[in-house]
Structure 1
Amino acid sequence: MSPRLSASPLGLAIALALSPFVASAQDATNLDTVIVTGTRASDRTVLESTSPVDVLTAEDIRKAGVINGELGSALQSLLPSFNFPRQSNSGGADHVRAAQLRGLSPDQVLVLVNGKRRHHSALVSTGSKIGRGTTPVDFNAIPVSAIKRIEVLRDGAGALYGSDAVAGVINVILDNTPEGGAIEASFGAHHTDLKPIGRTLTDGQTGNFSANVGTALSDDGGFLRVGVEYKNREATNRAGFDQIPPWDQTDANLALQGQRNYVLGDGASKDLNAWLNTEIPFGETSTFYAFGTYNQRDSEGANYFRYPDGEANWKEIYPNGYRPISEGENRDVQAVAGARGQWGEWTYDASLDFGQNDFTYRMRNTLNASLGPTSPTRFKTADYQYAQSVANLDLGRVFEQSETITHTLGLGAEARHERYETRPGDPDSYAAGPFTDRPTGSQAGGGLTPQDAADLARDVASVYASVSSQIGDHFSSDIAARYEHHDDFGGELTGKLGLRYEFTPAFALRGSVSNNYRAPSLAQIGYESTSTGYNAAGQLVQGRLLSVNNPIARGLGATDLKPEKSLNTSLGFTSRIGDNFDVSLDLFQIDIDDRIALSEAITGDALTDFVQQQYGISGLESASFFVNAADTRTRGAELVANWRHALGDGQLQLTGTWAYAKTELKNVLPTPAALQALDPAYVLFGVEESNTLTDATPRTRAQFSASWSNDRWSLTSRVSRHGSATRVFNFGGGFEPTQTYQAEWQLDAEAEYRITPQWSVAIGGQNLTDNYPDLSNEDIYYYGNLPYDVLSPIGSNGAYFYGRVRYTF
């Protein structure tokens, strides 16, 4: 590259777009930012931490989350250890997407907002592959425009923060700028060549609008900051041409052959977000603070097509068949208030934290076939609610043992109350009508019945202590212990030890060991549902997900769930050479005993006959329930390297990251004798659910980024490599089709120009090469309808192009 080209904004845009350098897991300019996650010390930076911590700036997140304005998508772009797959035809997962850290389950990562525990979703993800059987935190309910920075602790931290912090902690820190504001609008769409149908499509049109403003409330630091966001996303569809399954090949059904009867892609959605963050000093040393977020989302999901000639259809209603559409009404709120300050030599922080998620599930363009040709075509199928209240008190004090030895002591107590409730759907959504030869319940999402309804509560109390020490210029440590008591599972003591030794300013070793404890969620204990839908082989079945306390589940071998217990160990090094280069490498191992997962779907005549004879319930063709499936071991490594240098009249930064995580099963739960007595071929935890925990998530991801900026231009490019993922189905009779989807590359780039100090415009694209995952093979692509799987993080939407305008004041 010539000197003239390297100093030219246009030349840099071209060079960066083609550069082999890609997305940053942390902005290197933030290496000197004092972190607040993972330690009680008040002066540690990223490279001085005893455990790996990434810091993402508001600018990083704002640009990376441009598709749909999603925080989860931004984190996947920026963090190689973070996986946020796009779901389709996956039930509730079409509406609330689950995220993973270090390849573990979505409920094994703890999310904080301003250091306070975030609640999770009320909706159990049962139709998905990734996150199956969990109630994940809804990252997309957190407004992107509210964020000042995000700190990601990639290490176990149960002793510091309590249960769920097995894979790590994601701490979202809200914007506390006392003055000024911003207004931003963006619009984009997918424009892609869809090879399975030989067409060029433009869809997924997405508009985002956000505005936020701050004002000082006093001369001594008080402020109020508020913001709103509105997002509208149109649907995408990557389905292929329908070849019609062989068991459905009647004349009326074959008349639809060659059409796109299915949908594979993102459903349409509309989001309204609002947030606030405020602080008001009082007294001489104290501050009152409050913050909150609100999200209202209306979303749609895809389901399998029902053919004209089929037991799930009445031609009087749908002469040409129908495809049910799920509708989600998601309402999410978090509100926190507290005070912090000084009591003599002690600091204190006392707070009350309330979070609640309400989800109403509906179906339209469907029917309850058992009600006959007068069946309704719209139903409310269920209401879900999860609420969490937390009272917290933290105390801290710094002790100077000598001029070179300082200890920071932290003490605290926490009380948490959780409640989980599900309510039945419309009676017609689960009714067994007079047409007994037809399936009961609304198609693609049968309503929760009164016997399915759950109402559970739990109280959790904990006390904890920690000491962060700096001994001389070279050695630092973090020690923490917590006793946590669940009123339904008793108490457990957890601890953590983290050490760091700096041999020279250019090289330091760090390592940690900790144990963690995670009780089964209330949903995993009490959630039940009844459904009529298609199994993995595409055949219509009536099934139930049973709680472990259900008599039918007990008869099939279910037992009380046990808490998960884990042990985390890590060892790594950090190096910083001058102001230009830094690198960190961390190796880790996470052993989890009694990992909770859903059982395999138990199907067949033996099940149907057993339930009919023993419990008087007819027509049950599939059953599953939660189990402590296996012990697992996850081993991995994470590398982050940054290089920065002045170039032309701006600053160039190059970042490379690489992450690897492999999970293996140990001590798999054997099939109970009661289940094998029904049919020796039954397996309680087999190939499909084992695949969910081990190979369905890519083991490796790598990113390289380049960015250059000056007073006018901000140019970025990112190249990502998403590793391979494997899908396994069990269609019965020993037929277990398997496919490994190979690694894929993705190129993103953006150019932003500041017209004035207040106004800026940007254009950019994600997946600029319009890359797709491998096509699914004939055993998996469901007769041409679903050519792509949802496992690959690159998704199946193709290229996305956008423009953005921003005004700051």
Structure 2
Amino acid sequence: MPLHRRVPLAAAIALALSCAPVLAQDAVATLDQVIVTGTRASDRTALESTSPIDVLDAEDIRRAGAVNGELGSALQALLPSFNFPRQSNSGGADHVRAAQLRGLAPDQVLVLVNGKRRHTSALVSTGSKIGRGTTPVDFNAIPVSAIRRIEVLRDGAGAQYGSDAVAGVINIILDDRAEGGAIEASYGLHHTELAPIGRTLTDGQTAQLSAKVGTALGEDGFLRLGVEFKERSGTNRAGFDQVPPWDQTPANLAVQGQRNYHMGDGDSRDINAWFNAEAPLGEDAAFYAFGTYNQRDTEGANYFRYPDSSANWPEVYPDGFRPVSVGENLDAGLVAGLRAHRGEWDLDASVNHGRNEFTYRLRDSINSSLGPSSPTSFRTGDYAFSQTLANLDLSRGFARGDHFHTLALGAEYRVERYDTGAGDPASYAVGPYTDRPAGSQAGGGLTPQDEANLDRSVASVYASLASSFGERLTTDLAVRYEDYEDFGGELTGKLAARYEFSPAFALRGAVSNNFRAPSLAQVGFESTSTGYNAAGQIVEGRLLSVNNPIARALGATDLDPEKSVNLSLGFTSRIGERFDLSFDLFQIRIDDRIALSEAITGQALTDFVDANFDVARIQSAQFFVNAADTRTRGAELVGNWRDQLAGGHLLLTGTWSYAKTELENVVATPAQLAALDPGYILFGVEESNTITDAAPRTRAQFSANWNNDRWNLLARLQRHGSAKRVFNFGGGFEPEQVYGAEFQLDAEVEYRFNRHWTLALGGQNLTDAYPDLSNEDIYYFGNLPYDVLSPIGSNGAYYYTRIRYTF
């Protein structure tokens, strides 16, 4: 190992051994925190829950998110089964990152804020690998400084919280302190050795500033509010361009050996604002409200266009060009409600509105069919998703002998709306140069015919009963009937129980069925994007809605909802005040899993569409399908040790998770598609790989945290398991590669000068670890040396400093 990499490694190991690491640092250190997720009982803690729950406090989240202020990155560092990879050259995923829980799809986890359903992004991830074809919740639109704690229920919870809670529920609880505040500033950067080009790079400079303050409202009320600003420069891990053989003309060879591509994070800028408030209304009622606001401008990468190419006019770009995608993301959520106590009942009535707007633009691009006078910047489409909910919850507790029960009843009405708007006419125009590709390069704009305007309503009623039968047996029972305007009704239920054999050992288990209707975006989204054909050449492809006549002619059918059955069994153990352990096994069967079809490419497709629909030059087409039934089996282990050491408090945490997904009953290729070309497959190796092998099956972490009145010292060692990538370039060319497991070491030292000021120095990925290099079939002629699959990413080591003032 080179000396400059050996030194930080030795220093990091010394820090880990002398003061010790954090993963879920207080994820289970807050075991005595009463939980509000997964049960209606008002006195249960995480270890007493009938289903596995992680509790992360504000300090855990603040330190873990230090690298870039991203909530999603913090959750990946702290949770045993949370995956949040960094993607590049991946279309919308360059702008809105998707997260996974238990290896399932990003839209199969339900996100709550203060117990209220969070809206999803308006942008479908179409060019990504992880989260492909989903509209995920944008975790990074929620400011880290706003959070008091997070509770993560790792179990199916559709009967308790509604559709989408297949993999679990993440409940983000906002800061509610009535006094005091904090101002925090941080700065960091990547400093790394990029082996494929033999250079040491410094980039990814990130500056963050946040402030929050609280004040009392009346005797028991509060108002807490804050702002955040983040600015991040891009990173680039592209290799030297070898130029594909078919493009090796004299003009193109002139750019050989340069770094023409971009692989890494794009520039980004965030402005966040939030508030959380409650005001008493007499002795038995209170008004509450909370909201978040995020405005984010981001840049994404696209493939390079060579100087001598039908996509280029040398008069405009004599040295070729690489289009840059620009995302303008506006995300806001607002909830207002009333809590009251009437007789034996507690009442909670609320209205919840959330909206995400995304405008997609391109710069440094061209519509070559328009000739040298083409614009070079385009707006390619507008996307918007909104949801409005009204909730009414009633609950009461009652005793029967030494048994205590909490009964809850409720109703919810939700309206969802999804809209897309056409891009600039030049972004989709077919110009007079018919030998040139039409539309803006790196993604043609939405046409007026592509626009979607969809809405639906969802009504549900539900009941739950949380019971304690003495001191040893607790149960949770829930049932919900949910009726979708477009997909009909579904009855879901859950039964969970925990039996404590002794204070040191308890057994818990749960069974539930869950439901997820296709999102409105999966029903109505259409787009044009960039991909590769069998020769590795750039082609323009279309994602068609299932209602599009072209998709219907290729065999598309109406989508059915996903339905799951979840089983879990595990135990918890707590020995004294020092040691606790939980271990849970689970199985999740999902019928009619929704995914994208394989990319249907080739001359047969182009000729068929041109002849029957008068639409020229469609080179690739995809649409959503109920692809297969899946079975996911896994296990999760969390253990903690607390002790006194050297005048301070020591916490050691270890976690391990495993999740394996297998396909069953894969959808058959429809006759229409087979008749067009016997080689066409509706759902094959590439999209199967997306569901089964693209995410690591295992993750493990060991961490330790030591603190006293002045110092807080932590280190964290993570192991990201192996992942597999499979491409389908057509013509039977299906290259694949397994990327091996990687270790990541993080550490931080924080010093408290007095009760107001603290200063921290830290680093993430201190050993400057990278994923395996992609092989020659996948790395695209040296340009893309690393794949996007590994959670460790390809940015290398990151170093930061942080100063904080509290009052």
Give the whole-Å Cα distance in 2 for the aligned partners of 1:138 and 1:537: 35
2:464 is the counterpart of 1:481 = no
Specify whether residues 441 and 11 from structure 1 end up closer, same or farther in structure 2 by C-alpha distance, changes over 3 A only.
closer
Shift of 1:80: 1.8
Specify whether residues 533 and 632 from structure 1 end up closer, same or farther in structure 2 by C-alpha distance, changes over 3 A only.
closer
Secondary structure at 1:538's aligned position in 2? coil
Q: Could you give the per-residue CA deviations for residues 342-382 of structure 1, whole angstroms, max 9, x where no partner exists?
A: 01110011000000000000000000010001000000000
Aligned to 1:746: 744
Aligned to 1:517: 515
Which residue of the other structure, out of 418, 421, 446, is the alignment partner of 1:420? 418
Aligned to 1:301: 300
Shift of 1:537: 5.5
Secondary structure at 1:680's aligned position in 2? coil
Secondary structure at 1:735's aligned position in 2? coil
Shift of 1:573: 0.1
Give the whole-Å Cα distance in 2 for the aligned partners of 1:678 and 1:405: 67
Shift of 1:28: 3.4
Aligned to 1:110: 110
Q: Could you give the per-residue CA deviations for residues 406-447 of structure 1, whole angstroms, max 9, x where no partner exists?
A: 010000000000000000000000000000000010000210
Aligned to 2:350: 351
Matches within 5 A, 1:319-398: 319-398=318-397
Secondary structure at 2:73's aligned position in 1? helix
Give the whole-Å Cα distance in 2 for the aligned partners of 1:59 and 1:155: 25
TM-score (norm 2): 0.98
Aligned to 1:670: 668
Aligned to 1:4: none
Secondary structure at 2:302's aligned position in 1? coil
Q: Could you give the per-residue CA deviations for residues 426-472 of structure 1, whole angstroms, max 9, x where no partner exists?
A: 00000000000000100002100111100000100000000000001
TM-score (norm 1): 0.98
Specify whether residues 644 and 775 from structure 1 end up closer, same or farther in structure 2 by C-alpha distance, changes over 3 A only.
same
Counterpart AA for 1:279:
E
2:398 touches 2:405 (CA, 8 Å); kept in 1?
A: yes
Shift of 1:647: 0.5
2:797 is the counterpart of 1:799 = yes
1:408 touches 1:469 (CA, 8 Å); kept in 2?
A: yes
1:304 touches 1:534 (CA, 8 Å); kept in 2?
A: no
Shift of 1:540: 2.1
Counterpart AA for 1:603:
T
Shift of 1:542: 2.5
Shift of 1:15: 3.7
Counterpart AA for 1:364:
R
Q: Could you give the per-residue CA deviations for residues 538-567 of structure 1, whole angstroms, max 9, x where no partner exists?
A: 312222111111111111111100000000
1:17 touches 1:717 (CA, 8 Å); kept in 2?
A: no
Matches within 5 A, 1:593-632: 593-632=591-630
Secondary structure at 1:196's aligned position in 2? helix
Aligned to 1:704: 702
Larger CA deviation: 27-36 vs 486-495: 27-36
1:452 touches 1:530 (CA, 8 Å); kept in 2?
A: no
Q: Could you give the per-residue CA deviations for residues 180-201 of structure 1, whole angstroms, max 9, x where no partner exists?
A: 0000000000000000000000
Aligned to 1:457: 455
- Point out where structure 1 has 5 or more consecutive residues left out of the alignment: 1-9
Specify whether residues 450 and 532 from structure 1 end up closer, same or farther in structure 2 by C-alpha distance, changes over 3 A only.
farther
Give the whole-Å Cα distance in 1 for the aligned partners of 2:534 and 2:23: 36
Aligned to 1:150: 150
Q: Could you give the per-residue CA deviations for residues 394-416 of structure 1, whole angstroms, max 9, x where no partner exists?
A: 100001011x2001000000000
Give the whole-Å Cα distance in 1 for the aligned partners of 2:25 and 2:12: 22
Shift of 1:533: 4.9
Q: Could you give the per-residue CA deviations for residues 295-318 of structure 1, whole angstroms, max 9, x where no partner exists?
A: 000000000000000010000100
Matches within 5 A, 1:681-760: 681-760=679-758
Secondary structure at 2:678's aligned position in 1? coil
Q: Could you give the per-residue CA deviations for residues 497-546 of structure 1, whole angstroms, max 9, x where no partner exists?
A: 00100000000000000000111000000111134554585312222111
Give the whole-Å Cα distance in 2 for the aligned partners of 1:730 and 1:20: 45
Shift of 1:612: 1.6
Aligned to 1:539: 537
Specify whether residues 11 and 634 from structure 1 end up closer, same or farther in structure 2 by C-alpha distance, changes over 3 A only.
closer
Matches within 5 A, 1:196-275: 196-219=196-219, 221-275=220-274
Aligned to 1:493: 491
2:752 touches 2:759 (CA, 8 Å); kept in 1?
A: yes
Give the whole-Å Cα distance in 2 for the aligned partners of 1:410 and 1:711: 44
Specify whether residues 714 and 537 from structure 1 end up closer, same or farther in structure 2 by C-alpha distance, changes over 3 A only.
farther
Identity %: 73
Specify whether residues 299 and 537 from structure 1 end up closer, same or farther in structure 2 by C-alpha distance, changes over 3 A only.
farther
Shift of 1:13: 9.1
Give the whole-Å Cα distance in 2 for the aligned partners of 1:203 and 1:626: 38
Q: Could you give the per-residue CA deviations for residues 635-654 of structure 1, whole angstroms, max 9, x where no partner exists?
A: 00000000000011100010
Specify whether residues 633 and 20 from structure 1 end up closer, same or farther in structure 2 by C-alpha distance, changes over 3 A only.
farther
Q: Could you give the per-residue CA deviations for residues 599-654 of structure 1, whole angstroms, max 9, x where no partner exists?
A: 00000011111112221222111111000000000000000000000011100010
Give the whole-Å Cα distance in 2 for the aligned partners of 1:608 and 1:453: 22
Counterpart AA for 2:49:
S
Shift of 1:123: 0.5
Aligned to 2:784: 786
Give the whole-Å Cα distance in 2 for the aligned partners of 1:801 and 1:447: 39
Specify whether residues 690 and 18 from structure 1 end up closer, same or farther in structure 2 by C-alpha distance, changes over 3 A only.
farther
Counterpart AA for 2:200:
T
Aligned length: 798
Give the whole-Å Cα distance in 2 for the aligned partners of 1:668 and 1:101: 23
Give the whole-Å Cα distance in 2 for the aligned partners of 1:363 and 1:90: 14
Counterpart AA for 1:37:
T
Specify whether residues 25 and 464 from structure 1 end up closer, same or farther in structure 2 by C-alpha distance, changes over 3 A only.
farther
Larger CA deviation: 533-542 vs 699-708: 533-542
Give the whole-Å Cα distance in 1 for the aligned partners of 2:152 and 2:170: 5
Shift of 1:29: 2.8
Secondary structure at 2:262's aligned position in 1? coil
2:313 touches 2:372 (CA, 8 Å); kept in 1?
A: yes
Aligned to 1:179: 179
Aligned to 1:3: none
Give the whole-Å Cα distance in 2 for the aligned partners of 1:12 and 1:534: 42
Aligned to 2:188: 188
Q: Could you give the per-residue CA deviations for residues 10-59 of structure 1, whole angstroms, max 9, x where no partner exists?
A: 99993426788552265333101000000010000000000000000000
Secondary structure at 1:133's aligned position in 2? coil
Counterpart AA for 2:678:
P
Give the whole-Å Cα distance in 2 for the aligned partners of 1:619 and 1:591: 40
Secondary structure at 1:29's aligned position in 2? coil
Give the whole-Å Cα distance in 2 for the aligned partners of 1:672 and 1:755: 69
Secondary structure at 1:422's aligned position in 2? strand
2:331 touches 2:357 (CA, 8 Å); kept in 1?
A: yes
Counterpart AA for 1:348:
L
Give the whole-Å Cα distance in 1 for the aligned partners of 2:709 and 2:63: 18
- Point out where structure 2 has 5 or more consecutive residues left out of the alignment: 1-9
Counterpart AA for 2:214:
G
Counterpart AA for 2:108:
Q
Give the whole-Å Cα distance in 1 for the aligned partners of 2:64 and 2:764: 9
Aligned to 1:586: 584
Give the whole-Å Cα distance in 1 for the aligned partners of 2:483 and 2:377: 44
2:167 is the counterpart of 1:167 = yes
Give the whole-Å Cα distance in 2 for the aligned partners of 1:721 and 1:332: 33
2:356 touches 2:385 (CA, 8 Å); kept in 1?
A: yes
1:441 touches 1:532 (CA, 8 Å); kept in 2?
A: no
Counterpart AA for 1:599:
S
Secondary structure at 1:374's aligned position in 2? coil
Which residue of the other structure, out of 623, 638, 641, is the alignment partner of 2:639? 641
Secondary structure at 1:16's aligned position in 2? helix
2:722 touches 2:740 (CA, 8 Å); kept in 1?
A: yes
1:25 touches 1:640 (CA, 8 Å); kept in 2?
A: no
Counterpart AA for 2:439:
G
Shift of 1:284: 1.7
1:16 touches 1:707 (CA, 8 Å); kept in 2?
A: no
2:135 is the counterpart of 1:135 = yes
